[in-house]
Amino acid sequence: MELVKEYPISKRFPELPLLSAANAKKHPDLIPFAFGHPAKESFDISLLSDSAVSALQLDGPRALQYSGGAGPDHVVNWIQQRSKHVSIIVETQNILVTAGSMQAIDLATRTLTDPGDHVWVEAPTFFGAIRQFSLAEVKISSIPMDQNGLMTDELERKLKEAVKDNAPIPKFIYVMPNYHNPTGVCLSIERRKKLAELAYEYNFYILEDDAYVELSFSGEKLPSIYSFGPKRVIYLSTFSKTIAPGIRMGWALADDEVIIQRMKMLKSDGSTSVFVQEIISHFLADVKFEYHMKRINDLYCARKDAMINAVKECFGEEVAFTEPEGGFFLWLSFPKEVNTSEFASAALSRGVSFIESKFFYVDRAETNHIRLSFTFTNEEDIQKGVKRIAESYYQCKKSIEVLNGV
């Protein structure tokens, strides 16, 4: 048998750090605040089952072919109508159904950029998007956020500086306007308008990732960034948070049909599973969607309240946070001198996982935050999990004080 020689694989794969929670499943009593997953109680198993049977019985032979049956058209029509809730008016030919919103991010990135181009993101931002941008071999920079989202004044200052210095303008800016991952904040209407204005003035695109838009505890929906600048926005969303992530179905829409056509050209899988689209078309036809979302949002709101109460009880004034009005996440901020990675492993050994803040930054990383997901875990375990994190933090704090002779 010949010795196997070392093989030089592609150099495009970035060296990204392994999440501390990556081995979390190994703990037998894990409370997984690291998991950005929907609650299992949010899945309408009965209706999904009926929808799958209907897809086979009513149009099975066509639904199982490459091109599918009527389902994909029904799904696109539903997306078109639902988009009006965030002030988006779009033609069906400008909508592309994708294998989850992650594929939409990938397709948009490869459509808009070449290796070496510049992309700007919020600080902090979704680490999955950072990975996609890194694989596209672009240069990533960040703009800070506050409780009202991306700081557009700082963005404008940086754009002016780039023009003055003859430096590259970003090909696009990646933004999560509603219930941001990880901070949970929403971009204000004023900043949505300003961001769209800057996109027109400086000729860049906005990648508007609106995965959490339906998860509003009040039911209120703000107009999309797209509605203020459709010629320079690609809008993305997903069924992962409203139906189930396992169906792997999201979408992208753009006013410019050329953009959508080029994204289709890059979509090497052809059509997103036409049979799954057939199932989802039956689901959407039969579900009382507003009631469905109210049930989910009531569940998540109760879990969010449980987590906030536990944080207040266990940490008092030691941490700060902005209470989210929707979405999946609570972003805890510790004193500036704290490095949350220093007690992540201790928390994991106690049976609770979270994601420390260093993974959400591309430059000038802040290390004194953690992201907690309140959707996946029941209220009793939320109380236990927050207590375990507090025990890990205070033990770490005490050890540091001893070392420093305090």
What confidence score (pLDDT) does residue 400 get? 65
d(CA 186, CA 217): 13
- Are the C-beta atoms of 147 and 170 separated by less than 8 Å? no
Give the rounded percent of residues in the chain with a pLDDT score beyond 70: 95
More confident residue, 234 or 28: 234
What pLDDT was estimated at residue 4?
85
Give the list of residues 6+ apart from residue 187 with CB closer than 8 angstroms, or none: 148, 149, 150, 175, 177, 178, 180, 195, 222, 225
The model's pLDDT over 254-302, given as tens digits with 9 standing for 90+, comes to 998 899 999 999 998 888 999 999 999 999 999 999 999 999 999 999 9
Q: How many domains does the chain have?
A: 2
Residue 95 bridge partners (DSSP): 253
Confidence of residue 19 (pLDDT cuts 50, 70, 90): low
49 exposure class (CB count in 10 Å sphere: 0-12, 13-18, 19+)? exposed
Last residue of one domain, picked from the residues 286, 321, 348: 286
Q: Which domain holds residue 318?
A: 20-44+290-403
Mean pLDDT of the chain: 93
**If you count DSSP H runs as helices and E runs as strands, how many of each does the chain have, helices first?**
11, 13
pLDDT > 60? residue 148: yes
Rounded mean pLDDT, 306-323? 97
Residue-wise pLDDT for 23-67, tens only, equals: 555 666 899 999 999 999 999 999 999 999 999 999 889 999 998
For β-strands 139-146 and 149-150, DSSP reports them as antiparallel
- Co-location of 127 and 211 in the same domain: yes
Residues 54-108 pLDDT 10s: 999 998 899 999 989 999 999 999 999 999 999 999 999 999 999 999 999 999 9
On whether both 95 and 237 belong to a single domain, the answer is: yes
- The H-or-E segment that residue 141 falls in is strand 139-146
- Residue 119 within any structural domain of the chain: yes
Residue 349 clears pLDDT 70, i.e. is over it: yes
Q: What are 118-145's pLDDT values in tens digits?
A: 999 999 999 999 999 999 999 999 999 9
Q: What is the pLDDT of residue 324?
A: 97
Assigned domain for 13 exists: no
Q: What is the CATH number of the domain that holds 62?
A: 3.40.640.10
User: Quick check: 325 pLDDT over 70?
Assistant: yes
For residue 322, what is the domain's CATH number? 3.90.1150.10
- Tell me: the pLDDT tens digits for 350-382? 999 999 999 999 988 899 999 999 999 999 999
Alpha carbon of residue 281 to chain centroid: 24
Residue 373 and residue 239 share a domain: no
